[in-house]
Amino acid sequence: MDTALMLLARRAGHRIVTDLTACADAAAALAAAHRDTPCAARTLGQQALPTTFGLVAATWCTGLDRARTGLDRVLDALPVSYGGAAGTLAAVHPHGPAVADALAARLGLAPQGVPWHTERSRVGELAGALGVAAGACAKPAGDVVLLSATELGEVSESAPGDSSSMPHKRNPAAAVTARGAAKRAPGLVATLLAGAEQEFQRAAGAWHAEWETLVALLRVTAGAAARLRVSLEGLQVHPGAMGRNLALAAGAQGSGTGHATDLVDTVLAGRPG
């Protein structure tokens, strides 16, 4: 069961990594295109100081890149699970470790070291990496939802969702669904971490609680990354609206976005891969 779960996680996880990479690339393209586009930075829901939309997108890119590299690293370390009924490898003594390593190589999984029936740190690391990835998707998705509001109108999706009863609406459907998927991740991560305490050599209940939970976490994280990709790859930026909104508090904000532009260049120059 553990080996099958690791194979499933690796296969699904690499698809998530692909979408995270595409999301980060889309954010990087937005950052490069709008490195000099002034807009309002907002803190505590209020206009603060001027920034550039390029820096906003560069921040998205940074989080997505970190989540992608972290998840990729965890996926590469997912191990085979081979230990027999009680984790002693007794049935294949004295060749147990060699058989386990050969099985890992055959399946393309990492060697296990010693059997890990009730040592669940690998599952915890995977859960954490998936939770971080979901959170990295939730950040730009939430910003897109807010910046698409009628009163701001600073961005819009290329294929917005219509309303069945209000034809004037252009809902940021991809960002909304990415955000909805990502919000399910923390509870699933918590369940997997709570199951790390597993008694003796085979747990009663805690092990079984992982199965559907990990599958669900893979599913919602994959959904968040895939939907965010749709949102960012088609995101339309409206500099006119950004300038209009920025002018609302121009006297109190001061001016100058040179440092923001420099930060965009730093982020883009330092991207992994």
Find the catalytic residue in 11, 15, 73, 202. Answer: 202
Annotated active-site residue 202? The verdict is: yes
CA distance 57 to 31: 5
CA distance 194 to 16: 24
205: left (phi over 0), alpha (psi -120 to 50) or beta: left
Can you read off the two tokens belonging to residue 202? 């085979």
Find the catalytic residue in 15, 73, 158, 163. Answer: 163
Q: What is the largest CA-CA distance in the chain?
A: 79
Strands (E), the chain: 38-43, 46-52, 155-156, 236-237
CA distance 146 to 138: 12
CA distance 47 to 255: 13
Task: Reply yes or no: is the peptide bond before residue 94 cis, omega within 30 of 0.
Answer: yes
Residue 9: name the closest of 180, 192, 190 by CA: 192
SS3 assignment, position 110: strand
Can you read off the two tokens belonging to residue 110? 């990492």
Distances (CA, A) of 12 to 7, 149, 223: 9, 34, 11
At a CB cut-off of 8 Å and minimum separation 6, what does 114 contact? 83, 87
Q: Which amino acid, one-letter code, is at 4?
A: A
Can you read off the two tokens belonging to residue 9? 């996680």
Annotated active-site residue 165? The verdict is: no
* Residues taking part in catalysis: 163, 202
